[in-house]
Amino acid sequence: MMDRRDLLKMIMATTGVAMVGGDAFGYEMKGQVPLSKTIFSSDDVILFNEVAEVILPRTSTPGAKDANVGLMALILANDCYTSKERDVLVQGLQSLNEQSQKDYGSPYLLLNTQQQTEFVTQLDVDAKTYNNKQDIYYLSVTPYDRNSNDDKPLPHYFTLIKQLTLFSFFTSKEGATKVLRYEATPGKYNGELEYKKGDRAWAT
Amino acid sequence: MANNDYDAIVVGSGISGGWAAKELAEKGLKVLMLERGRNIEHIKDYTNAFHEAWDYPHRGLPTQQMKADNPKLAREYTLNEMTNGMWANDKDHPYTEVKRFDWFRGYHMGGRSLLWGRQSYRWNAEDFTANLKDGVAVDWPIRYADLAPWYDYVEKFAGIAGTQEGLDVLPDGQFLPPVPLNMVEKDVAKRIEKVYKGMRHLIHSRTANITQAMPEQNRVGCQYRNKCWLGCPFGGYFSTQSSTLPAAMKTGNLTVRPYSIVTQVLYDKNSKRATGVEVLDSETNLTYVFNSKIIFLNASTLNSSWIMMNSATDVWDNGLGSSSGELGHNVMDHHLAVGAHGSIEGYEDKYYSGRRPCGFYIPRFRNWGNDKRDYVRGFGYQGSASRSNWQQNVAELGIGADFKNALAEPGSWNIGMGGFGEILPDHKNKVTLDKSVKDKWGLPVLSMDAELQANELRMRKDMKQDAMDMLEAAGVKNVQGWDGDSPIGKGIHEMGTARMGRDAKTSVLNKHNQIWDAPNVFVTDGACMTSASCVNPSLTYMAITARAASFAVEELKKRNL
């Protein structure tokens, strides 16, 4: 049995002329990445989500956990990060629990909400201090512009967590459509839209 | 056995190839259009057109694996998940670099017409006389007046949005209503007009996005999604698929053959004419010969020259069109990645809706009129103003509900613009065949040896400083200039390597784009350009192609070819 592709090849070979619309395919879309294809475990996702939820909590609108930010963040860290960046993150997640153990006598996930907020607030301060010491003032929101041969100093691991959280959240359907505003087909451009404080920003 | 004889063969299906096929088929010629890559059918094959950021496995970002597989594509926005598979990959399509050269290609039906930036500007009268005046390279064999009616013709069909401005530096054309400017851009435009006393202008971009439906082409019009590079199901922008291909197919005179790498033009030294082309089927590796009376090379700037270098080597060592010694030389682009940005206060009660496919344009003002600089030629700017979003504050301190709410609101208004500068044709800047490296099909590859020269480097100082000065003059705060790397090719406006001219001794093509050594071969893509102007080139390729096609058919009728 000859499949369609082989048949088309044969027709092309004998006639020299292919048919438009043959075995064409257009833009490629890769499949979603399962967590099992990464170095991270579901425990890592849970931990990341709980930290991310403190950064972007559920309010009247969805929060980080609603968007399962942890899964996206760790897939990005696995596939888009350089190995150096990934190492900083992996060691960071580990040290986060060690620090929590030291400060509160228990791992991060067992802290109550108020303790988690205190802890992450302190991390945010530590990260800023650390970054300033290294003259890291500008931080990309995505891992997009970092080259693997880039030997610039890396920011504090919490900064990586925050970057991944914000990017994963605001590019998620929940973040983009329920926290920000998104219109798939605007149909026109209005360059003089009135704005009042509190109106949501566009997702893109 | 199929009939392999045609009146005309068009090599390439991008912007200029699509125009050549349409014009020749509409004039009654039996046309074969050859495309080296796969077919992409309008609308049906725009498979990502309705996908959103959250549909992509990495939200659109390139992975390290993608970067490792495509180190050259990874230099720019060209490597991402949205257009994955569209820009020619590095592995199958290598080239070598004596100096860094970015070469981003679209090897599929429609070529880069699906992926282009769509900015569409006419050249001005001085662009065509500049080489003569400056004593640079050779004089163009045509003038603005030769092309003006063809600009009219292609603009009407392609659909260009813009405004009539009455500027000699940027001639007006046949425009659809413009894509709007926003409040900030309009006010900055007024301030620039005032400060520079009408010598500098911030105007609407002129773009090949249609702001009104074109029902005769089944094109609905721009929906302000700003996803043009995914192929537009609304026919919102000009591409081969949305515009020229359906018109050409309607004639019943066009045959399209994808997977067809043209390896050489077949040349008969007795008649001094080309007889057809040799095609390597990229799927089967079988070789075919197709014959025709005329051939249009529209394979994209460097690939059209590559085909010539591989043709008639029994007559000329360096290939068809090489007798002047200029084939492969004078490669040009536009240099960019230089400009300025800042923030602007006082518009906190203004916003916008919709996603534009473009922004504003500032036409060239340097070395224009009475202005004289320590370099020749000039540059224009493209830019836009917008309010920052959630990306605004990542480096700032903050977590929690207030932080989230702050990020959910738009931030400050920012405005930025980047320059596009003219690169002079320079014999030193060249591409040659590198036979030591072969592509997937065993074909020799191109080697790139080109870089910015002193004139461009001097110009870049102005490109940065003028952008900063103009923004500051317009009341913009926190103005910062930037000047990054600008290797040739980064602008994706490759031009030259088979220039038009007045003399067979110093140019490859004559004033009708015929190869001096094979008058039934026309080269009407970017390869033909004698100089580069500073405006985006595709509209000019369209006009040059339509003009050459008309001439070719007349000559055929007169039995001159």
Chain A residues near residue B183 by CB distance under 8 angstroms: 191-192
Split at pLDDT 50, 70, 90, the class of A30 is confident
**DSSP string of B291-320?**
EEEEEEE-S-HHHHHHHHHTSSTTT-TT-T
pTM: 0.95
Substitution target in B394, B396, B403, B485 with the highest count of A β-carbons within 10 Å is B394
- Residue A28: predicted pLDDT: 87
Is the CB of B1 less than 8 angstroms away from the CB of A191? Answer: no
Is the CB of A117 less than 8 angstroms away from the CB of B400? Answer: yes
Is the CB of A9 less than 8 angstroms away from the CB of B283? Answer: yes
Q: Which residue of A has its CA nearest to B400?
A: A55
Torsion sign (Cα): B202, B205, B211, B215: positive
Tokens 């170095």 appear where? Answer: A39
CB-based contact B544:B19 (threshold 8 Å): no
Name the residue facing B256 among A20, A196, A202 (closest C-beta): A20
- Residue A108: predicted pLDDT: 97
CB-based contact B371:B517 (threshold 8 Å): no
Chain B residues near residue A199 by CB distance under 8 angstroms: 351, 409-410
Q: A152-201: per-residue pLDDT in tens?
A: 788 899 999 999 999 999 999 999 999 999 999 999 999 999 999 999 99
Give CB contacts under 8 A, 24+ apart, made by B143-150. B144/B171, B146/B511, B146/B547, B147/B123, B147/B540, B147/B543, B147/B544, B147/B547, B150/B543, B150/B544, B150/B546, B150/B547
Q: Is the ipTM of this complex over 0.85?
A: yes
| Angle between helix A42-55 and A113-133 (nearest 10) | 80
Coil, strand, or helix at residue B186? helix
- Residue A92: predicted pLDDT: 97
Q: Which residue of A has its CA nearest to B40?
A: A26
* Intervals of chain B under pLDDT 70: 1-2, 393-397
- Residue B391: predicted pLDDT: 80
What number is the average pLDDT over the span A51-70? 98
Question: What are residue B334's phi and psi, to 5 degrees?
Answer: -110, 135
Split at pLDDT 50, 70, 90, the class of A146 is low
Substitution target in B63, B262, B289, B290 with the highest count of A β-carbons within 10 Å is B63
Coil, strand, or helix at residue B198? coil
- Residue A25: predicted pLDDT: 57
Is the CB of B410 less than 8 angstroms away from the CB of A162? Answer: no
Count of CB pairs separated by less than 8 Å, A with B = 249
For residues B426 and B443, give the distance between their C-alpha atoms in angstroms, rounded to a whole number: 27
Is the CB of B2 less than 8 angstroms away from the CB of A16? Answer: yes
SS (H, E, C) A37-67: HCCCCHHHHHHHHHHHHHHCCCCCCCCCCCC
Is the CB of B283 less than 8 angstroms away from the CB of A176? Answer: no
For residues A90 and A203, give the distance between their C-alpha atoms in angstroms, rounded to a whole number: 29
Residue A20, pLDDT above cutoff 90: no
- Residue A134: predicted pLDDT: 85
For residues A97 and A46, give the distance between their C-alpha atoms in angstroms, rounded to a whole number: 13
Q: Which residue of A has its CA nearest to B115?
A: A27
Chain B residues near residue A149 by CB distance under 8 angstroms: none
Q: Which of B355, B188, B408 is nearest to A187 (CA)?
A: B355
Split at pLDDT 50, 70, 90, the class of A4 is very low
Coil, strand, or helix at residue B510? coil
B482 touching chain A per CB within 8 A: no
What number is the average pLDDT over the span A70-85? 94
Is the CB of B61 less than 8 angstroms away from the CB of A80? Answer: yes
B64 touching chain A per CB within 8 A: yes
- Residue A14: predicted pLDDT: 44
Is the CB of B408 less than 8 angstroms away from the CB of A201? Answer: yes
